[in-house]
């Protein structure tokens, strides 16, 4: 059985139903992770949990130390990681409250520490990133959603933007021309760093708003919050099912 971790994003600073066993704070060469890593039991199965934005959700996407987070999980012995992410929907099938397991990424972020191989160890690594997500874990997430009889979009391209502001309508039109279906601020460099460490990583995305210009008017925070809340119970069910079926 491989050790599974969930990195919680917006709306998921805690893992509902997790019976906490202990907190671990591995010190990494990059500093501490966003919060202590929680080791617990979800329905009797061991699970690690790390809130990406810190315990009080105070770390914005461009300030998350993605290297420290992934390194800390690796040091806890974790082998598989689900990155939860609230996203905006660009394409038709990806409206608010849709759950999705994307299969591609385009990275529009900048100024983030993108690699563990920054030249300081005199070593260069070029990971293969043709398929940025671990297909085994993607399929396990899709199976878990189907076992719960929940609709989930299989695939889609995640456009990772810098944030913390939301995009302009023109930026979203550009992402759409590029082929993005979803837009979020935390998908990269998380996925690439996981690959560098040999972790099996997949993104479980939930749409909390139409991306800029895709609906009339401005994007309202109350709308995002309501959609986060509306997705919560389904996400919990899928994760609980995934953890139970860990022998995938
Ligand atoms: N853009 C970027 N990130 C997001 C969005 C968005 O519209 N919604 C939730 N995260």
> Measured from the CB, is residue 208 less than 6 Å from ligand 1?
yes
> Measured from the CB, is residue 167 less than 6 Å from ligand 1?
yes
Backbone angles phi, psi at 164, to 5 degrees: -75, -10
Pick the range with the lowest mean pLDDT from 25-29, 61-65, 208-212, 226-230: 25-29
> Measured from the CB, is residue 211 less than 6 Å from ligand 1?
yes
> Measured from the CB, is residue 231 less than 6 Å from ligand 1?
no
> Ligand 1 centre from 26 Cα, in Å?
30
The confidence score (pLDDT) of residue 248 equals 45
Give the pLDDT band of residue 246 (cuts 50, 70, 90): confident
Cis geometry, peptide bond prior to residue 75 (ω within 30 degrees of 0)? no
**Residue 50, beta-bridge partner list:** 7
Report the share of the chain in percent with pLDDT over 90. 87
Q: Is the pLDDT reported for residue 1 higher than 90?
A: no
> Ligand 1 centre from 199 Cα, in Å?
25
Read off the pLDDT of each residue in 118-139 and give the average, rounded to a whole number.
91
Distance separating alpha carbons of residues 98 and 91, to the nearest angstrom: 11
Read off the pLDDT of each residue in 199-216 and give the average, rounded to a whole number.
97
The confidence score (pLDDT) of residue 123 equals 82
Q: Is the pLDDT reported for residue 43 higher than 90?
A: no
Nearest protein Cα to ligand 1, atom 5? 88
23 and 220 Cβ atoms separated by less than 8 Å: no
* Best residue among 10, 52, 88 to mutate for probing ligand 1, ranked by most atoms within 8 Å of CB: 88
> Measured from the CB, is residue 166 less than 6 Å from ligand 1?
yes
Q: Is the pLDDT reported for residue 61 higher than 60?
A: yes
> Measured from the CB, is residue 65 less than 6 Å from ligand 1?
no
> Ligand 1 centre from 194 Cα, in Å?
22
> Where do the domains of the chain lie, and which CATH numbers do they carry?
4-245 (3.40.50.1580)
Q: Is the pLDDT reported for residue 137 higher than 50?
A: yes
Distance separating alpha carbons of residues 17 and 19, to the nearest angstrom: 6
Read off the pLDDT of each residue in 129-141 and give the average, rounded to a whole number.
98
Give the pLDDT band of residue 122 (cuts 50, 70, 90): confident
Give the pLDDT band of residue 121 (cuts 50, 70, 90): confident
Read off the pLDDT of each residue in 8-16 and give the average, rounded to a whole number.
89
Is 0.85 topped by the overall pTM? Answer: yes
Q: Is the pLDDT reported for residue 247 higher than 70?
A: no
> Ligand 1 centre from 24 Cα, in Å?
30
């Amino acid at each position: 059985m491989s050790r599974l971790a969930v990195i919680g994003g917006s709306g998921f600073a805690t893992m509902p139903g997790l019976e906490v066993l202990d907190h671990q704070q591995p010190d990494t060469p990059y500093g501490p992770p966003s919060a202590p890593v929680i080791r617990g039991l979800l329905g009797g199965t061991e699970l690690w949990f790390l809130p990406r934005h810190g315990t009080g959700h105070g770390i914005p996407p461009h300030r998350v130390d993605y290297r420290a987070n992934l390194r800390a999980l690796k040091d806890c012995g974790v082998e598989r990681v689900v990155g939860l992410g609230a996203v905006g929907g660009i394409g038709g099938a990806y409206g608010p409250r849709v759950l999705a397991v994307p299969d591609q990424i385009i990275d529009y972020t900048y100024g983030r520490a993108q690699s563990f191989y920054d030249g300081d160890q005199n070593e260069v690594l070029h990971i293969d990133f043709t398929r940025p997500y671990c297909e085994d874990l993607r399929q396990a997430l899709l199976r878990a959603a189907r076992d719960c009889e929940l609709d989930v979009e299989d695939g889609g391209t995640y456009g990772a933007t810098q944030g913390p502001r939301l995009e302009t309508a023109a930026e979203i039109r550009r992402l759409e021309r590029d082929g993005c279906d979803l837009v979020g601020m935390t998908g990269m460099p998380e996925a690439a760093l996981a690959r560098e460490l040999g972790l099996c990583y997949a993104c479980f995305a939930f749409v909390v708003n139409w991306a800029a210009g895709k609906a009339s008017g401005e994007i309202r925070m109350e709308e995002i919050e309501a959609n986060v809340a509306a997705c919560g119970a389904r996400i919990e069910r899928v994760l609980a099912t995934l953890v139970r079926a860990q022998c995938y």
